Structures are given as structure tokens and as C-alpha cells.
Structure 1
Amino acid sequence: MLIGELADRTGTSRRLLRYYEEQGLLSSSRSPNGYRAYAESCVDRVLQVRGLLDAGLPTRVIKEILPCMDSPRATRISGATDDTIATLERERDRMTDRIRCLERNRDAIAGYLDAVREARGTARPLASTPAEAPALA
């Protein structure tokens, strides 16, 4: 398939697909006219890369763990080296720290909003859980 079809099927821009290829996360062949040609399996590979990026992993880590991933769209890793495990543990810990920071920031913003609403006389009941808290746009 050509890059346009892969982009359409994965919801990923052509520019990002070329970037993934530059980073060694995706491969293509070239047709006689010079166009990139992607195998059907690239659809799953792109979705897998996007999922890992959405999880917060940098491309350098994704490149390291992709060869260890058995099944597209599943997070099963076989044959992982000690270095890969250590890298993933560091990334997990980094994500945990980011989550804590985001929670502190969310709570600070909620406190600020409560104070502003109280000062305006438009106080709303506090949400009892973060899931009930109003979303910020």
C-alpha cells in the first residue's frame, strides 16, 4: 500500500509516517517510480507505535522494545534483555512521577477555581472523586 492509504487507515499523517521510518520504527520498500510501498503488517505496527507514544515512551525506547514485542496490538514481550527491562522500569517510574505532578497541578487548579467561585459567590459543590471533577478545556 502507498503512504496515503497507510495514513488513512491509521489516522497518522504522512509526515509522521516518514518520521517513524527515519527513526527505524517502520520500514517500506520503494516501487519503481520511487513511491514508498508498505506491507499490510505496517498498519498494526503504526498503531502499536502510536499506542506506545501515547503511553509516553520516547521513540528511542520504542525502537529498542519493538523487536521484542510478539503480537501486534498486544503488549506481550518475550526475550527482553536486562537492559530493556531496566529501560522500561525507568520509563514507568518517569510516568509515575509525571502522573503525580499532574495530579498536584490538577488539585491546585481545582483549589484556585473553588477560591475564585467562592469570591464571586458562585461556589459549586466539590467533586468527591477526580472522575467527578469538571474537565478543563
Structure 2
Amino acid sequence: MRIGDASRVSGASARSLRHYEDEGLIVPGRCGNGFRDYCQSTIDRVLTIRSLLESGLSVRLIRKLLPRLTDEPDVGTDAARAEFLHEVQSYRDRLAARISVLTDQQAALDAYLRQARRPAP
């Protein structure tokens, strides 16, 4: 399918699809006229990429590990999956720490506002 159809099916903009290609995340086929040709496996990969990006993972990490995660099973696949899961867990832990700091800051601001709104004696 052409890029417009791939965009509709995957929910990714044509610009995003071109970006994923530029970043080496996908490799669409080419028609005789040079137009990109997206097969279902490429669309499935785009859906995976979008999900990972929406989760906050970086293009760098996705580019590094996604090829090994989606290739046919082999000796290195389990190690790649373990490395990927370790990276995701590490990202999640950093995110949780940031959320904790923000929650503490929010609580401090709430306390300040409660105090500031009290009528003067």
C-alpha cells in the first residue's frame, strides 16, 4: 500500500512514516515508479514503534533494539529481549522517581496555597 493508505491504517502521519524510514526503524518496499510500498509487516512494525514512542522510549533505544526483537527467533533474541526489558524497566524507574518528586512539589504547593488563603488574624 502507498504511504497515504499506510498512514490511515497505522494512524501515523506520512511525515512520521518518512521519519521512521530516515531513522532506520522501517524499510518500506519501493514500487517501479519509486513510490513507497508498505506491506502488513511494516504496518505492524509501525504500530509497535508508535506504542513504544508513546510510552516515552527514545528513538535511539527503539532503533538499537527493535530489529533484534522482531527478527526471527535465534540465539541472540532472548538476550536482546532481556536487554530491552532492562532498558524499559530502567526508564520506568526513572519516570517513577520524577513522578515522586513532582508529587512532593505539588503537595508543598498545595500546603502553601492552603496557608496563604487563610484569613489574617
TM-score, length of structure 1 as denominator length:
0.64
Unaligned segments of structure 1, at least 5 residues: 72-76, 122-137
**Aligned positions, number:** 114
Cα offset, 1:44, TM superposition: 1.5
Q: Measured at CA, do residues 23 and 107 of structure 1 come closer, stay the same or move farther in structure 2, by a change above 3 Å?
A: farther
1:22-47 deviation line (CA, Å, top 9, x unaligned): 11111112112111111111221111
**Structure 2 length normalisation: TM-score?**
0.71
- Aligned match of 1:100: 100
Aligned residue type for 1:48 = T
- The CA RMSD over aligned residues, in Å, is 3.2
Cα deviation 1:57-96 (Å, max 9, x = unaligned): 100101122123359xxxxx73327765654454233222
- Contact 1:56–1:95 under 8 Å retained in 2: no
Residues 70, 106 of structure 1: alpha-carbon distance in 2 compared, 3 angstrom cutoff = farther
Structure 2, unaligned stretches of length 5 or more?
72-76
Instruction: Indicate conservation of the 8 Å contact 2:69/2:81, yes or no.
Output: no
Q: Matched residues in 1 for 2:53 and 2:59: separation?
A: 7
Contact 1:68 1:79 (C-alpha < 8 Å) held by counterparts: no
> More relative contact order in 1 or in 2 (CA 8 Å, sep 6+)?
2
Q: The residue matched to 2:16 in structure 1 has which SS? A: helix
